[in-house]
C-alpha cells in the first residue's frame, strides 16, 4: 500500500472532525503575531508562507493540493506565529481545530504519518535555505524551475522574486536569460 493510501485510510476515521472552508485569493489564514488555531489541508488552490521584513513581504514556502498548512510551533505551543499564511488562489480547505487534533495525536497509526509529512516540509525549507548560502540567484531560479515547476506555473512573479531573494526586475532578467 502506498504512503498516500495509508494516510487517507488512517484519516478516514476522523472524517467527522473535519470542517470545510473556501476562501478567495489574498485571504490570511494566519496573521503574523497571532496564535495558529487551525491545521489546514489544501483540497484545491495554492497558499504561501511569508513574513514582514522592514515593510517587505518575504515569501519562503508555497503549498498546493494535499499539503498540510499551519504554523507548527504556534499550533502546538499556543505561542504567536512568526509568519503569515495567505492564499494565492481561490482555495478549498479542510481543517481541524487544536482540540480535535489532540485526538489525532494519540493515534499510533496516523501520527507517524503526520510527523513524516512535517519532516518532508522541513527538509524542503532547509534545501531552500542552503540554496541562499551557496547558489547564485540564477541557480536558485533554475533549481526552482527544475524541482518545483508548479510554483513557476501558479505563483505570481513578485512572490517568486521574494522567495528567491531578488527583485522582480532581477527575476525578469534571469527569466530572459534562461
pLDDT score at 3? 56
d(CA 50, CA 57): 6
pLDDT score at 7? 60
117 to each of 6, 81, 131, how far by Cα in Å? 13, 20, 21
pLDDT score at 118? 77
- Cα torsion angle, 139, 140, 143, 144, sign: negative
Task: Say yes or no to pLDDT of 40 above 60.
Answer: yes
Cell representation of residue 37: 488555531
Q: Could you list the beta-strand ranges (E) of the chain.
A: 19-23, 28-30, 38-44, 47-53, 56-63, 68-69, 84-87, 91-97
5-9, 101-105, 118-122, 168-172 — which is least confidently predicted? 5-9
Fold of 3-106: Jelly Rolls (2.60.120)
Percent residues over pLDDT 70 in the chain: 94
Q: What Rg do the C-alpha atoms of the chain give, in angstroms?
A: 17
Instruction: Encode pLDDT of 51-64 as tens digits.
Output: 999 999 999 999 99
Q: Are 171 and 164 in contact (CB under 8 A)?
A: yes
Task: Say yes or no to pLDDT of 15 above 90.
Answer: no
pLDDT score at 141? 96
Instruction: Encode pLDDT of 124-139 as tens digits.
Output: 888 888 998 999 999 9
Amino acid at each position: 500500500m502506498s504512503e498516500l493510501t495509508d494516510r487517507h485510510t488512517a484519516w478516514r476515521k476522523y472524517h467527522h472532525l473535519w470542517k470545510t472552508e473556501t476562501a478567495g485569493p489574498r485571504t490570511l489564514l494566519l496573521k503574523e503575531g497571532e496564535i495558529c488555531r487551525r491545521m489546514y489541508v489544501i483540497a484545491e488552490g495554492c497558499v504561501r508562507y511569508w513574513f514582514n521584513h522592514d515593510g517587505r513581504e518575504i515569501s519562503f514556502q508555497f503549498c498546493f493540493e494535499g499539503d498540510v498548512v499551519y504554523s507548527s510551533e504556534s499550533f502546538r505551543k499556543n505561542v504567536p506565529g512568526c509568519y503569515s499564511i495567505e492564499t494565492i488562489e481561490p482555495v478549498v480547505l479542510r481543517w481541524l481545530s487544536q482540540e480535535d487534533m489532540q485526538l489525532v495525536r494519540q493515534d499510533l497509526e496516523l501520527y507517524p504519518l503526520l510527523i513524516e509529512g512535517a519532516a518532508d516540509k522541513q527538509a524542503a525549507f532547509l534545501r531552500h535555505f542552503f540554496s541562499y548560502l551557496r547558489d547564485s540567484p540564477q541557480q536558485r531560479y533554475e533549481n526552482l524551475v527544475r524541482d518545483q515547476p508548479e510554483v513557476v506555473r501558479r505563483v505570481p512573479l513578485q512572490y517568486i522574486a521574494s522567495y528567491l531573494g531578488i527583485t522582480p526586475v532581477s527575476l525578469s532578467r534571469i527569466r530572459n536569460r534562461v
